[in-house]
Amino acid sequence: MSDFVKNFMADLKAKNPDQPEFHQAVEEVLESLSIVLERHPEYRSAKIIERMVEPERLIMFRVPWIDDQGEIQVNRGYRIEMNSAIGPYKGGLRFHPSVNLGILKFLAFEQVFKNSLTTLPMGGGKGGSDFDPKGKSDNEVMRFCQSFMTELHRHIGPDTDVPAGDIGVGGREIGYMFGQYKRLRNEFTGVLTGKGLNWGGSLIRPEATGYGSVYFAAEMLATRGETFEGKTCLVSGSGNVAQYTVEKLLQLGAKPVTLSDSSGYIYDEEGITSEKLEFVMELKNIRRGRIKEYAEEFKSAVYTPVDPKLDYNPLWNHKADAAFPSATQNEINAKDAQHLVDNGVKAVSEGANMPTTLDGVKIFLDNKILYGPAKAANAGGVAVSGLEMSQNSQRLPWTREEVDQKLHNIMKSIHKTCVDTAERFGTPGNYVNGANIGGFLKVADAMLDQGVV
């Protein structure tokens, strides 16, 4: 670690204590940027990094709501408007009990680089609440979403800040929040993305993150002359990203064998087929049940509950060719990464945000794994959100094929940026450096152009 990174991190930690995920995200980027800062002293003298780690605006608010028993509940709401150098703030809302400032700041920080990589004009932001939609009735979720938007509406807008979904925020939650925004503002605008198809949403938006992560992995494999045909794949999570990762893998002839939720995971040695995936979608999106039921329905599958005593995740310890972490941050530690390497995994494509610890990333890089970091590999979701914004502005919906083609082209272009940038800065094949530097340069140059703001 260079002296600059060491000193910068010490200051960052002192100024932002108790935010380990934020520290982790910044440290990873800084490690990549050392060489850029050496070549371009103008970024140092303009204090670009110091400015990038400080949110432009941070909004925290009370979200009171009434549950089905008539009890008043109080949650905390957040929106982090991180960087608007290249466009309006853009990034998802996460509803999960683990949500806190440090987690949202790491997500918002990553989002700035990711959005820049998409080639679309979007700044970075993130938000959410410690509200847990699990086990709540639709009416409770609606009352929460309405209260959340009653405060958030004054800070967002189609040219200011355009939130979307993330963990715990899917079509249902976006619908309730959009309805409340429209009622409060008396405006029908593209203020949120991930909307329903018949009220301004884009085709392929639900699929985009999972499809994009597989498109990215396919590009990585192609650099070694390989395809997904017949490849065994490990997928974690069973939400939006995991479901469409499995769908695209099946379309490309691969054999996905795992899925998980926060209670445990299933391993299906015969492979998760389209019919089995349909069961998962109904289970997770409609019945809102647990992944354990998969193993009760399909006898070829084994369910393993989470064992808090283990210091590794057994999901990552099966023989496979590729891995798609698609649940949450830090779900692959150094031990898991070593298991993946030992089991013959050639490619890892991150559907989730920062799913691999810094030690884990080092193991992938040292072993020359085709490792697609989240900023690049999961940018398909926000890219199609950007396309949804364009369609809303034009008031013209595009066809499924048109959006999918654009998504595919964007993922190819992100892959190319990563490869070319990594090479230009002397680390060929290092997608971490490629993504961090590629995302940084565009934002940093825009910040230089716009003066000290």
111 scored as a contact of ligand NDP (CB under 6 A): no
Q: Which two tokens stand for residue 356?
A: 């691999």
As a whole number of angstroms, the distance between CA 250 and CA 230 comes to 10
Cβ proximity to ligand NDP: between 352 and 389 the closer is: 352
Among 110, 261, 321, 388, binds ligand NDP (CB under 6 A): 261
Q: State the catalytic residue, choosing from 105, 126, 195, 284.
A: 126
Among 326, 391, 430, 436, binds ligand NDP (CB under 6 A): 326
Residue 362 designated active-site: no
180 scored as a contact of ligand NDP (CB under 6 A): no
91 scored as a contact of ligand NDP (CB under 6 A): no
51 within 8 A of 134, measured Cβ to Cβ:
no
245 scored as a contact of ligand NDP (CB under 6 A): no
213 scored as a contact of ligand NDP (CB under 6 A): no
Contacts (CB under 6 A) with ligand NDP, residues 335-354: 351-353
* One-letter amino acid for residue 311 of the chain: D
Which range touches ligand NDP (CB under 6 A), out of 49-57, 165-173, 267-275, 443-451? Answer: 165-173
120 scored as a contact of ligand NDP (CB under 6 A): no
215 within 8 A of 145, measured Cβ to Cβ:
no
88 scored as a contact of ligand NDP (CB under 6 A): no
373 scored as a contact of ligand NDP (CB under 6 A): no
165 scored as a contact of ligand NDP (CB under 6 A): yes
Which range touches ligand NDP (CB under 6 A), out of 115-123, 255-263, 360-368, 437-445? Answer: 255-263
313 scored as a contact of ligand NDP (CB under 6 A): no
Task: Output the smallest distance, CB 108 to ligand NDP, in A.
Answer: 11
239 scored as a contact of ligand NDP (CB under 6 A): yes
Cβ proximity to ligand NDP: between 37 and 249 the closer is: 249
As a whole number of angstroms, the distance between CA 337 and CA 357 comes to 9
Which range touches ligand NDP (CB under 6 A), out of 12-20, 30-38, 234-242, 419-427? Answer: 234-242
**Residues touching ligand NDP, count (CB under 6 A):** 22
73 scored as a contact of ligand NDP (CB under 6 A): no
Contact positions vs ligand NDP (CB under 6 A): 165-168, 170, 209, 237-241, 261-263, 326-328, 351-353, 378, 381
Q: Which residues are catalytic?
A: 126
